[in-house]
Structure 1
Amino acid sequence: MKNRTYLKASFREIAYSKGRFIAIILIIFLGTMLYVGIKATGPILNSSASRYVNQQDLSDFQIVSTAGLTEEDVEAAEAVNGVEVEPGYHFFYADSTKNEVAQVFSYANKNQQNQLVLTEGRLPKKQQEIVLDSKAKDFGYRLNQKYGFDQPDQLKKSDYTIVGFANSPMFISTEERGLTNVGNGSVDYFAYIPEENFDSEVYSILYLRDPSAEAYQTYGSTYEKKIEEKRDELKEGFSERPEERAEEIQQTAQEALRPEKEKLTSGLAEVEEAQQQLDQQKEMIERLPEEQREQLNQAQQELTKNRQALESGQREIAEQEQEINAMKTPAYSFNVRSDNPGFQEYGDLSERIAAIANVFPVFFFFIAALITFTTMTRMVEENRREIGTLKALGYSKFEIAKKYIIYATLASAIGILLGSVIGTETLPRLIFFLSSDRYNFTQLNTFYSARPILQAAAAFLIASLGSALVVLLNDLREKPAHLLQPKAPKPGKRIFLEYIRPLWSRLSFNQKVSYRNLLRYKSRMVMAIIGISGCAGLMVAGVGLKDSLGSVTEKQFGPIIDYQGIVTLSEDHLASEDREAVETILNDTKQISSNLPFFSSTVDVRKSGQATQQVTMMVPEDAEAFEQYVHLRNSAGTEDSLSDEGVVVTEKLADLFDIQAGDALTIYDEDQQKVTLPVAAVVENYLGNFLYLSKEFYQQQFDQELQPNAFFIRTENMTEKQEKSLAERLLDSKRVVNTSFMSDQIEAQEESMANLDAIVLIFVVLSGSLAFVVLYNLTNINVSERIRELSTIKVLGFFDKEVTMYIFRENIIFTLLGIVAGYGVGYLLTAFILHQASMETIIFPLVINWTAYAISGGLTIVFTLIVMLVTHVKLKHINMIDALKSNE
């Protein structure tokens, strides 16, 4: 009976203090929801992507060759253990009349890899049917419309009927379709045509898939490691194919020339024989009649003409043979999923979320746990007399503790359960929904991750139950008589303001009391400031993250990269006359203010324990002019110049490989030849990793003349149409393979950063919610602890507004101090998150605009005022008699 009564009293405690109980649940709920939800978002996004690409059987590899692929290449790929191989055809088609570029793929019913996802219509069934990319609808294409190719040299037919629109797992982005060396250089959409329409003796591409890799997350390190190992096997299996393929092409070409060569040889032999007969006749020419002599001369002329034609043909054959023998060895490329357009961008989004989840939610979680700890501690301290009474009545320590165990466990369980469920079910879905317009994924595969849930449960149980038990066990050591007496109030002390007589004498009585109470209850002040500053700091960090992530392009393009485009020359057109022809086009374009030839190459930087980095090496023809195109600014803020004494390295690469000015950097060129370069300077950079060398230093270190293969171009404001027009003109020259504009990079980077807007919004909203709950809870604790004090001043004649200000004068000071401290916390927290979120090719600058501080401070003040109004209503209804009798 005694236990049942005490159990009822335990639940009545919840009803009597439902405001505090709900506040604890809300704090635990918010902390758990953000922590569990954000921690689960990255894995859930990756799992959903893996599920999608596995369902559509996305190939793990794509093998392409500059000379096409044959059955021997298919056999070489099939010889690699555990891979499925599918050959196919594809080409890029530029429609000059519509200014569109399409990537055309072959479609066969037997295709198992890269299965299309229909969004409208059906797949091709007849030879003259075509399926277009869903993105093609933006260009005005509709079902049953005719689609034609102008002079398709790789197709047997030119006219097709559109029977469907689809998405492809090779293009998970709704926007990006990759680059090409035809048309304007950028692919607009893809198309699939039945395989039998392709008119080619060799394949264009091999798709390879490793079924065993399906067991791993496509963005996981285990998958990447397995695929890298398999790629090494493929490269080993194809190691002899470039030379073999070159021999095959040469042999085929020689065989094609052989009949013509034999025909010419035979013709020359006949001419020689005829010449001999003619020479014999010439011996008796004087004896022949005039008419026969004339015929003989004509025959000689005809024979000479035939000889010259045959010899000319032989020279042409010899030149062709020479070209065949000098033909470059075909290059094979082994592309993986991350090389597909837009694929890596989605993975980077998940990585950034995971990096942020390791910092922001943890700090949020810490503040929530700290406030929970404070709330439960104060609750036990308020019940000292009840604990003393129960102890005097003979209740055991466990029986007394049971009430607080039930209270803390129930509040924690409700908060953790709601936070885990709502966090897992809503935050990943919300982030997925807000970024779904950028990707073709249609379904989110949510699941509950045990680790963050258990971490949240352990932390909050320690914060709530642990804090209650610590204080409770301390109180239970005391005698009942001591517990039944209220704690002696803290003695008043002179504060430092009292020694400033001119200031102290001008303060009102209420102000003096407030300042004395602030310093009298230092622990209360410290906890309030920590709680408020933590929440304010979280809001600053939330908005600051958006400012910092969005400022990457602003910091990179203009202050550092001061060119607007790069024109890349074809490897077959690097001669000076080719460069001059391209330069003429650039000079004739009025929007281009200047250009600078340079050499560009991709090199590898390696170090034990660090992933190999592919770095762009740039060598301008004129180092002095280069300063107008790239501003080499060091950490001190001053600009460096290219040096003949060493290479200039960008800071992220220097950070990854622990490089400083004066060190030596070892690189591996495209032929994997090792070159060691002294480092002259480390310069600021935010996107990508670069090496900059002067012309003289390059020629000295690489022992070869500089041969520029690209141009920097500086332009006035060019419209998208003007950029496309210039790209087309350059590609039409047949000397240029690609023209890339910085405007496209800026747009792509801004779209990539926009993916994080949803997370930032969630952080700000939840941080604001936590700030409100924290302010309300701290104020509620403050009022409940000082109810007798407030009743006393009310009895003494203080008006309701004065009683409210008695409390809120302190709260206002706490809030202002907390906001100021929160600004510092937010700055440091943002810097730490950005450091964690930085990637191998991206540095996020620390940029926090004044709006972040204004939003944080403004919301905190608004929440303080709302709590003030709620508390004012509560204080107006205090039962002064009951409060003053509470200790009797």
Structure 2
Amino acid sequence: MKSKILTDTLRKITRAKGRFLALFGIIALSSGFFAGLKVTGPDMKQSAEDYYRKTHLMDLHLMSDIGFNDAALRLLQETEGLHAISPGYSEAAFLAGADDAETIVKLYSMDFAAVREQSAINLPLLTEGEWPDAPNECLIEANTPSRYGVGDTLTVTVADAETSLLKETVFTVTGRADWSMFVDFNRGTASVGDGSIDSFLLVPAAAFEQDVYTDIYLTLEETQSIDSYSDAYDAVIKRYTKLFEDQAKVYVAPRVEQVRLEAAELLTDSRKELDDGYGELEENRQKFADEIKAAEQKLADALQEITDGEADLETGQAEYEDGLAAYEKAVAAVDRQDADLQVQEAAVADALAQLADEDAFLARLQGIVTAYRDVALGVPFPKEIQALIDQAAAYDSGAYSLSDNLTAYFQAAAGSPDKQRMEAAIAYYIENCRAELTNQTAEVKRKQQYFADARATIEDAKERLAGEKTTLDAAKSQLEEAQRQLADARIQYDEGVAELAEQKAEGEQQLADAEQKLAEGEAEYADAQKEIAALGEDTHLYVFGRAENPGWSSYALDTERVDAIAAVFPLFFILVAALVCLTTMTRMVEEQRTEIGTYRALGYGTASISVQYLLYAAIACVTGVACGTLIGYQVFPKVIFICYQLMYRIPEITCPYRWDYALGCLAVALLCTGITAMIACHAVLREAPSQLMRPKPPKKGKRLFIERWHFLRNKMSFRHKVTLRNFFRYRSRVLMTVIGISGCTALLLTGFGLYHAVSAIVDLQFEEVFRYDAMIAVSDDAVQQEQLAAALEQDEQVTEYQFGLIRSATVYGEKAAYEINIAVPSQPESFDQFVLLRDRKTHEIYHIPADGAVINEKLAKLLGLSVGDTIRPEQAEAALTVTAITENYAGNYIYCTPAAYTAMFGSYEPNILYMNEASGTDESALAERLLKEEGALAVNFSSDGGESFRELVGTLSYIVILVVICSGLLALVVLYHLSNINITERMRELATLKVLGFYPREVSAYVARENLLSTVLGTACGLVLGVFLCRFVVQTAEVDVVMFCPDIPVYCFFVAAALTLLFAMLVNLLLRPKLAAIDMAASMKAIE
């Protein structure tokens, strides 16, 4: 009989593969989703834990203001409970190169001998290359840009060569490595450059000066078997942290004593330098006075020489002017004499010329007269004769007319007495004229000789005057040269006076500076004495745990967020699947009434018949859970871990098969299917076999309520009336379909709502609530704060700034304690420029009250506070009244005024500065400028925080998308499975429609309308249910320091509804072949 039951059970599976596969798929999908999502957080934590153990990650990291020496190291080694201790060195530097001028790297020393033995603390994992050997070799981190590779050379430059510990600055890359000290891509902060470390280098300890250790790493015995993300681990770390902090003076004492001895030697040298400085100052003061006196005497001598020279210049100038006047007077006289002589010489020359002309005329006259002695001329005369007569007219006188005599002579007859007489008279006249000419010529020559002597005298005078002119010009040049020399001397004297005054002022300033420097030296000497005396009191020991390592805590928070999402979402998911499985088994038993009755008639007992269905359910559950969990355990953790690898450097994830969740899923599946099958069988088996073997009589028909509305009924077509009748006829079937679809729609809406709740907070927090562009950690020194403020005032890229205080504190609720931040702006009235305080729903703007506090909404929910309640942080001396509850999504804050803070804690000392920058500002360059100010300790830009939070939200979004995909698959499977069952149960009805002549398309529409109506109703119910489920999931997924956006945007409703309707239409298309394949004859007589 057992074999028969098993065989029949297997036949049920093979004959209705669709039903079994659908049941198997729903169980596999729901269990895989539930178990896979639930183990993701633990698997991520376990993977990180394995990574930490494999690399011997430190438990505690010790640092001090003055480092550690070997004596301090030996004291630390004596601490009870230590597993291992490793000293080391570290220093931040710039990576040299044109492309890396602003790249900051931090160099950490490693004991590579211990690394090779796998015994080193903070063991790096080599991913490429080999371990360094020489001091000038290094490892780079695995995600360093590809432009750096094994074999490349890196050069680093330090900010202060005098205080640097590095001996090597050029390193050859031997390999790449992952390092568990940094599990995300944040490398910490530094006090150089823009303050943000970009990468790290691992170098041998020999690359550093080895006098003083900067870091000491410890591992503890108690933590070797404790998970590092457990409360037990936190308790151990807190205990040892307190131990080291309480004994800080003991552990730093050896180094303090060493520094005190070194400082004492330096102070002795400093005292000697100060005393020498005082002696040198007095010596320089006397020397300065002597030099000033000598310079003043030299200037006085120069001034006297200038005065004497100016007097001599005035005398010479007067003599020159007198000589010049006499010279000019003599030149004028000579010029007058020369002019008169020139006139007389001209007259003599004219006389000589005239006498020569007369002599020539007389000679020509005599010749012509002789030539015409025998000739009588008539009138008119020849031109030559007439010209001679005309010329002779000039010699006519009152007593004798030469021209008339010549006229008469040339007219007289040749040889006549008159002609001879006239010729004799003319000859006589000529003779007299010649005698007169001779006398006149002699007189003229005598004058000419006189004038020649006068000319010689004048020329001698001119030559003498030219010599005097040369002498005067030379004297003038000498005077001008003397004048220039005196002017130059005067300029040199003035310059000398100015230079002396400048040198005197400079010397006095140098002496004053020297005195000031000596005074400062005395003050520094006194301060140094005080510092040495208080060295043990002011030296701090800093104890850091893994939580301070970049990414360690955020990785734990991210796994908690995954756990939070997995806390509720999969439960509802598996609830929907369980409901469908319950429906499946119930309908399966109802469908096989005839077969059950036959078994009863053949003598099978109730238990034997029930075992078939229990076995059927068990096979589906075991195989579904096994397959679902095998896939879910591998797919979900790995897919989500791959998403988180965008943010973290955990080499690989460990995905063990967790039997607890698998057995839990199996128990739920068996509970939903097995017990349902047993209950359904029990209900059926109460009837007689004869009743079971006959068809179940249909229920009594009833008029629909809607049919009483005649105006509506008359407008409805036959198909619509049939659809409504079937819809209300099979109420239980429709109800199960509606519930299944509403559950799937609610899951989809919850998925999209959760996606919006997670993704929206980035822009809301870092663009609307946090308005500041940067937050600067500032020194507590008031003078340095003023200098920083002055630098910000002069920086054109800074638009607004305001000092403030942020302090972490603890507040206590009814069930737990919560870490919060107290934010205290120095100017609360203008704080809205940096942080917007407003109501989340109404956007009403709040201002910080003078005697109250504004808290964020998440904190109010955690503590159960409302407006008018009071809040009192731990260690506060007074409580504050909550006056408003503001919108905030990241972190928990109390905002109050400086006066209110002072009332709580006694004093108000700003430690941060809010700053806004101009658009287009180069933030890296701005940070570098700010960090050069002593008052700026660190610069954090909100864009960096927003980007980090955006990466976190992006990773959570991948999880939400995965949830939405699984919800969509579940919706598709549920719709298909319920519709398939619906068709199976109504085979005779559908065959009847075919017999009546309905076309395949009409038959499909007949079923599709009912499915669509059920889908619409289920979608509407699912949207309402999804609102409550989404709010519940969002609140459950939140961690203490994050509030998701609780509002569900309209598009989420549309998308969830559209996807559900799309799945319904897709299911209708998939069911068409099955409807077309219905055998009318077989289906009609199946009841027989």
TM-score (norm 1): 0.89
SS state of the match for residue 20, structure 1?
helix
1:574 counterpart residue number: 782
- From 778, 798, 802, the counterpart of 2:978: 778
What pairs up with 1:135-534 in 2 under 5 angstroms? Answer: 135-137=143-145, 140=148, 143-150=151-158, 152=161, 153-173=164-184, 175-199=185-209, 201-238=211-248, 249-250=259-260, 252-258=262-268, 261=271, 317-325=525-533, 329-534=538-743
Larger deviation: 787-796 or 361-370? Answer: 787-796
The gaps in structure 1 that reach 5 residues or longer are 270-304
1:537 aligns with 2:759: no
- SS of corresponding position for 1:179: coil
In structure 2, the partner of 1:831 is: 1031
Check conservation: 1:80, 1:237, Cα contact below 8 A: no
**8 Å CA contact retained: 2:759, 2:957:** no
Task: Report the identity percentage.
Answer: 32
Q: Write the distance in 2 (CA, Å) between the matches of 1:388 and 1:673.
A: 79
Alignment match, 1:742: 942
After superposition, residues 68-87 of structure 1 pair within 5 angstroms as 68-71=67-70, 73-83=72-82, 84-87=84-87
Structure 1 CA distance for aligned equivalents of residues 274 and 792 of structure 2:
46
Q: Hey, what does 2:838 align to over in structure 1?
A: 633
Q: How far is 1:99 from its partner?
A: 0.5
Whether contact under 8 Å (2:756, 2:1045) holds in the other structure is no
CA distance in 2, matches of 1:146, 1:636: 55
Call closer, same or farther: CA 1:331–1:238 in 2, change over 3 Å.
closer
Match of residue 279 from structure 1: none
For residue 438 of structure 1, report the CA deviation from its aligned partner.
2.8
User: Contact between 1:116 and 1:167, CA under 8 Å: does it hold in 2?
Assistant: yes
The separation in 1 between residues aligned to 2:743 and 2:1029, in whole angstroms, is 10
CA distance in 1, matches of 2:530, 2:195: 33
1:706-761 alpha-carbon deviations (Å, 9 max, x no partner): 44333211224345xx0000000011123211111100001000111222233223
Contact persistence 1:80–1:233 (CA under 8 A): no
Q: Distance in 1 between matches of 2:254 and 2:1029?
A: 58
User: Which of 886, 890, 896 is equivalent to 1:693?
Assistant: 896
Q: Structure 1 residues 493 and 734, CA, compared in 2 at 3 Å: closer, same or farther?
A: same
2:87 counterpart SS class? strand
CA 1:499–1:431 in structure 2 vs 1: closer, same or farther (change >3 Å)? same
Residue 970 of structure 2 aligns with an amino acid whose one-letter code is L
Q: 2 CA distance for matches of 1:875 and 1:311?
A: 105
1:666 has 2:872 as partner:
yes
Shift, 1:435, TM fit: 2.8
State how far apart, in whole Å, the 1-side matches of 2:666 and 2:756 are. Answer: 33
In the alignment, the residues of structure 2 paired with residue 267 and residue 801 of structure 1 have an alpha-carbon distance, to the nearest angstrom, of 111
What amino acid is aligned across from residue 713 of structure 1 in structure 2? M
**What SS class does the counterpart of residue 824 from structure 2 fall into?**
strand
d(CA) in 1 for partners of 2:554, 2:46? 16
Q: Which has the higher helix share?
A: 2
One-letter amino acid of the counterpart of residue 890, structure 2: L
Paired position in structure 2 for 1:90: 90
Contact 1:242 1:329 survives alignment (8 Å)? no
Counterpart in 1 of 2:44? 45
Query: Based on CA coordinates, which of the two structures has the bigger radius of gyration?
Result: 2
Q: Deviations over 1:669-690 (max 9, x none)?
A: xxx6755444433322111122
Kindly state the Cα deviation for residue 251 of structure 1 after the two structures are TM-superposed. 5.6
Q: Secondary structure of 1:712's partner?
A: strand
Offset of residue 866 of structure 1 = 2.4
Tell me the residue number matched to 1:274: none
- Corresponding position of 2:291: none
Note the C-alpha offset of 1:129: 1.6
Q: Give deviations 1:644-682, integer Å, cap 9, x for gaps.
A: 1122222333333344444443334xxx67554444333
Separation (CA, whole Å) in 1 of partners of 2:1061 and 2:229: 43
Is residue 137 of structure 2 the alignment partner of residue 129 of structure 1? yes
SS of the residue 2:803 aligns to: strand
1:9 Cα deviation from its structure 2 partner: 3.0
SS of the aligned residue for 1:164 comes to strand
**How large is the Cα RMSD of the aligned pairs?**
3.0
Confirm whether residue 99 of structure 1 aligns to residue 102 of structure 2: yes
Structure 2 match to 1:273: none
Distance 1:827 1:311, change over 3 A: closer
> Does the CA-based 8 Å contact 1:565-1:740 persist in structure 2?
yes
The answer to whether structure 1 residue 871 and structure 2 residue 1057 are counterparts is no
Unaligned runs of 5+ in 2: 280-511
Deviation at 1:378, TM superposition (A): 0.3
Q: Which amino acid aligns with 1:567?
A: I
> Which residue, 871, 880, 887 being the options, matches 1:684?
887
The whole-number CA distance in structure 2 between the counterparts of 1:506 and 1:252 is 106
Which residue identity is paired with 1:446?
A: C
Counterpart code for 1:128: N
> Does the CA contact (< 8 Å) of 2:93 and 2:156 recur in 1?
no
- Whether the 8 Å CA contact 2:128–2:175 is kept in 1: the answer is yes
Q: Is the 8 A contact 1:34 1:361 kept in 2?
A: yes
> The residue matched to 2:9 in structure 1 has which SS?
helix
CA distance in 1, matches of 2:862, 2:1051: 33
Q: Secondary structure at the match of 1:87?
A: strand
- 1:712 match: 914
2:96, 2:157 within 8 Å by CA — same for their partners in 1? no
Letter in 2 for 1:654: A
The alpha carbon displacement at 1:481 in A equals 2.0
Distance 2:645 2:170 in 1: 35
Residue 988 (structure 2) pairs with residue 799 (structure 1): no
Within 1, Cα distance between the matches of 2:272 and 2:796? Answer: 55
Q: Distance in 2 between matches of 1:242 and 1:353?
A: 43
- The answer to whether the aligner puts 1:624 opposite 2:823 as a matched pair is no
In 2 relative to 1, CA 659–53 (structure 1 residues): closer, same or farther, beyond 3 Å? same
1:49–1:218 Cα contact (<8 Å) kept? no
Q: 1:329 to 1:310 in 2, by over 3 A?
A: closer
Displacement of 1:561: 1.2
Letter in 1 for 2:895: Y
Structure 1 CA distance, aligned partners of 2:861 and 2:102? 43
Task: Note the C-alpha offset of 1:851.
Answer: 4.5
Following TM superposition, by how much is the alpha carbon of 1:247 offset from its aligned partner in structure 2, in angstroms? 6.9
CA contact (8 A) 1:171 1:177 kept: yes
Evaluate the alpha carbon distance shift between residue 701 and residue 246 of structure 1 in structure 2; reply closer, same or farther with a 3 A threshold: farther
Pair 543,679 (structure 1): closer, same or farther in 2 beyond 3 Å: closer
Report Cα offsets for 1:275-330 as digits up to 9, x if no partner.
Answer: xxxxxxxxxxxxxxxxxxxxxxxxxxxxxx9x999997766633432454466712
CA deviations on 1:66-102 (whole Å, 9 max, x unpaired) are: 2323445434543443222211111222458711111
Are 1:602 and 2:808 counterparts? yes
Contact 1:167 1:440 in 2 (8 A): yes
Q: Residues 631, 863 of structure 1: CA spacing in aligned structure 2 closer, same or farther, 3 A cutoff?
A: same
Q: Which amino acid aligns with 2:183?
A: I
Farther off after superposition, 449-458 or 652-661: 652-661
Segment drifting more, 85-94 vs 653-662? 653-662
Higher mean alpha-carbon deviation, 132-141 vs 623-632, is at 132-141
In the superposition, relative to structure 1, how do residues 266 and 812 fare at CA in structure 2: closer, same or farther (>3 Å)? closer
- After TM superposition, the structure 1 stretch with the greater mean CA deviation from structure 2, 522-531 or 132-141, is 132-141
Could you tell me whether the CA contact under 8 Å between 2:813 and 2:862 is conserved in 1?
no
Q: Which residue number in structure 1 is paired with residue 858 of structure 2? A: 652
**Deviation by residue 1:596-624 (Cα, 9 ceiling, x = unmatched):** 222333334356852451x3322222111
Q: Does 1:65 align with 2:267?
A: no
- Alpha-carbon shift at residue 10 of structure 1 (Å): 2.9
What is the letter of the counterpart of residue 103 of structure 2?
E
In the alignment, what sits opposite 1:586? 792
Equivalent AA in structure 2 for residue 839 of structure 1: V
- Counting matched residue pairs gives 842
Q: Which moved more, 1:642-651 or 1:773-782?
A: 642-651
Q: Deviations over 1:3-48 (max 9, x none)?
A: 5445433322222211111111011110111011111111111111
Residues 569 and 1033 of structure 2 are in contact (CA less than 8 Å); yes or no, is this contact kept in structure 1?
A: yes
2:195 is matched by which residue type in structure 1?
G
In structure 2, relative to structure 1, the CA distance for the partners of 1:435 and 1:472 (3 Å cut) is: same
The question of whether the paired residues in 1 share the 8 Å contact of 2:183 and 2:649 is answered with yes
Give the Cα separation in 2 of the matches to 1:240 and 1:9. 82
